[in-house]
């Protein structure tokens, strides 16, 4: 119950489907998931989804070669 990520992490965006369908709104945590925050298991699952969403929307960067 000490996981605080679902309390402060909020994401809302549009999906970019590859098959010319309408984009869908993505919300993390969703309304259904917010209801699950009252249990330790629910908080853990929502926290993991927040982490995965944050990682999925990061921009890839080219690694910098170290200079010696």
- DSSP calls for the chain: ----HHHH--EEEE---TTSPPP-EEEES-HHHHHGGGSHHHHHHHHHHHHHHHHHTSPP-PPPPP--
62: in domain: no
- Which tens digit of pLDDT belongs to each residue from 8-67? 888 777 777 777 778 777 778 887 888 788 889 988 988 888 888 888 777 777 777 877
68: in domain: no
Q: For the chain, what is the domain count?
A: 1
CA distance 65 to 10: 34
Q: Give residue 3's pLDDT.
A: 84
Q: Give residue 4's pLDDT.
A: 86
Provide the domain limits for residue 16. Answer: 5-56
48: in domain: yes
Q: Give residue 16's pLDDT.
A: 73
């Amino acid at each position: 119950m000490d996981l605080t990520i679902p309390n402060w992490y909020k994401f809302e965006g549009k999906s970019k489907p590859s098959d010319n369908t309408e984009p869908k709104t993505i919300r993390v945590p969703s309304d259904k998931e917010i209801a699950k925050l009252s249990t330790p298991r629910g908080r853990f699952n929502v926290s993991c989804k927040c982490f995965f969403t944050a990682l999925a929307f990061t921009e890839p960067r080219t690694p910098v070669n170290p200079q010696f």
